[in-house]
Structure 1
């Protein structure tokens, strides 16, 4: 008879939003952060951890090294009322990632590192690229990546190259977890900027959206096609969106701006290496994936997802300290490198 011990059973809330350089001043984030009884976590409980990625954050604050971005302060203000604390934040020009956790989880977070990779303008400025937070979470290696890839329909090759540049250049100091895909859990979110292949007009795309023909449009989605071919993001999984394209809107409305074809630019993907340690089972069951149409600040809609981050041991009892020694110790073995092609 198999006996199972639960080491960690967490609900993690992920959010990505391209805010178009707008200030958070007048934004009420209660609904967006599932703080008003609309949580998708089990039992309608608040998440254990929030990871929020943003793009096109105003860079006016970048040179104020010791001051958090106004968006981080706004999020912190909303979450502090519920006894969340900021774990870490990392900003690269307009790309921002921040993590908050319930206070009880802080002792189970170790080896916290951040990283950034510039890809825009040859990597000289950082208007495109990625930032990340990695850590040991209840003994397992987890990394959260927020990226903003090259824009426009005709820049598919550049988006693929951006992705590989991020994977190649993101490096960490933790033994066994030097690179993104060495981690047991990988969560990748952001304005990935993938558009629809083919020559459908913006008006025809809008008509399909209005008639709920998402599945037909997603067959043309560049990200789906790339993952099938193994060119990029194929090491990650995505629950297919069942919400309308999140770009491009007339700001302040839910009307598409047909200067661009509507597209699912804003995405959240993940990867779990389920059985890499003897007697340990890792899982990340996705509980939700949704766009938030009430938030019309920019020409993008925010997108969120929740995951049940679970660590279990079978037929033996581990503490997360013992699991940490197994996963982060000198004898731990890095996983297979990225095998994707760039074509």
Structure 2
């Protein structure tokens, strides 16, 4: 009997992951120094809750204060005091190839080599191997904990600056680094995709409306081996959305259209649930003031390797980028229309031999499948008051990808707004109450429906084995 119970539980776990159905344990994400409070995770997750810190000021008062707008038909009175703050924001992405970090790995040179930032947005892909066990089985959070420890160590370990060997500009930018301390706002894992957000400690009390949403786009369009994690938050009166993605792989003709579809579906399916509809409470990615989209987007080069090899030897990035699928698709208006990406002055970030500066395609001795070098790892952005200061790649040989990072200057609205909405006309987009019997019944119905799909799991497992990276 116990064996049957364990088998049934294991089967439901597999199907729940196949359908990308969230449970209470899935909805948990990490945050520093906080007591957790149950809040709705995403409007699309009818039976799940997210856990968010409640020590941030006014975290649970997001329904009445500091709102930019209101629901349709809502009357309001507003008194505005204009005030702006300029902050620096670091965004970084790295596909780590399914390898767990070792203790000797130092992230400080990647995260803080140029200048300290006020906000850190750090995305990883393949923090676990994308095998059937990790995709269908229980989530392995061990590697995520190791990456978090390395990030904390890199951000909160103060080194003495050597003024004799440091440029005046770098000394100026880092002069206040010793007094900085960073707190983890939140981190979330979906199979191999991992997103972590950190802010300067003194900014924590001005963060509100933290929400997250996950969209699986892997095998059969549902599994989490590919897809996105999106985090929404408000700093003062400016709304931020950070999207970490791992899109469809492959370099065959037409694979770029699958990646375009992934982007479209992520934009459509990502929803953030709030008590009130308001400009300060965006419910989709594009409704935010500031948006960062980063990750292994997997767009390749349209050219064959012979042509690419010659251009690589010349470091002719401009000519190579004319073959870049993302640039081609974006110019044609088929993906990321209206989004920005900085100029690329660095070599393709994929695919390298492990612990080597050689691309896989550059050596005949490699047992790995030949891959045309490409700029798979990208950072795109959208929003007013957001300016890119630099866009570079790191040189760590830990993975077959090189990490990519960017530093932004962002203008944050500190306006003091006092709005008094009419309670009778406020539109609620979701309930903050615990699960009701009706919700429980809906969950049971979903479980029954999911169990009917068990026959498809064998097919899913076979697809995972054959799926390219």
TM-score range (shorter-chain normalised) is 0.7 to 0.9
Segments of structure 2 that go 5 or more residues without pairing to the other structure are 1-80, 159-180, 362-369, 427-469
Alpha-carbon separation, structure 2, partners of 1:229 and 1:78: 41
Segments of structure 1 that go 5 or more residues without pairing to the other structure are 275-282, 313-318, 332-343
Give the superposition deviation at 1:233. 1.1
Give the superposition deviation at 1:63. 3.2
Deviations 1:279-333 (A, max 9, x none): xxxx11100100112x011110000000001136xxxxxx44429x69xx999xx
2:271 maps to which of 171, 179, 196: 171
Q: From the superposition, tell whether residues 68 and 266 of structure 1 become closer, same or farther in structure 2 (CA, over 3 Å).
A: closer
Equivalenced residues, count:
300
In the alignment, is the contact (CA less than 8 A) between 1:113 and 1:135 conserved in 2?
A: yes
Match of 2:123 in 1: 53
In the alignment, is the contact (CA less than 8 A) between 2:124 and 2:195 conserved in 1?
A: yes
In the alignment, is the contact (CA less than 8 A) between 2:340 and 2:381 conserved in 1?
A: yes
CA RMSD of aligned residues (A): 2.5
Alpha-carbon separation, structure 1, partners of 2:94 and 2:144: 18
Q: From the superposition, tell whether residues 22 and 232 of structure 1 become closer, same or farther in structure 2 (CA, over 3 Å).
A: same
Deviations 1:243-283 (A, max 9, x none): 000000001111111111110000000001x3xxxxxxxx1
Match of 2:183 in 1: 85
Q: Is the counterpart of residue 196 in structure 1 residue 274 in structure 2?
A: no
Match of 1:261 in 2: 372
Alpha-carbon separation, structure 2, partners of 1:121 and 1:23: 23
In the alignment, is the contact (CA less than 8 A) between 1:108 and 1:139 conserved in 2?
A: no
TM-score w.r.t. the length of structure 1 is 0.81
Alpha-carbon separation, structure 1, partners of 2:143 and 2:213: 19
Deviations 1:195-235 (A, max 9, x none): 1114x22x431331221211111111110111111111113
In the alignment, is the contact (CA less than 8 A) between 1:18 and 1:56 conserved in 2?
A: yes
Q: From the superposition, tell whether residues 66 and 303 of structure 1 become closer, same or farther in structure 2 (CA, over 3 Å).
A: closer
Match of 2:407 in 1: 306
Alpha-carbon separation, structure 2, partners of 1:14 and 1:66: 23
Give the superposition deviation at 1:72. 1.8
Structure number, greater radius of gyration: 2
Q: From the superposition, tell whether residues 266 and 64 of structure 1 become closer, same or farther in structure 2 (CA, over 3 Å).
A: closer
Higher strand residue share: 1
Match of 2:251 in 1: 153
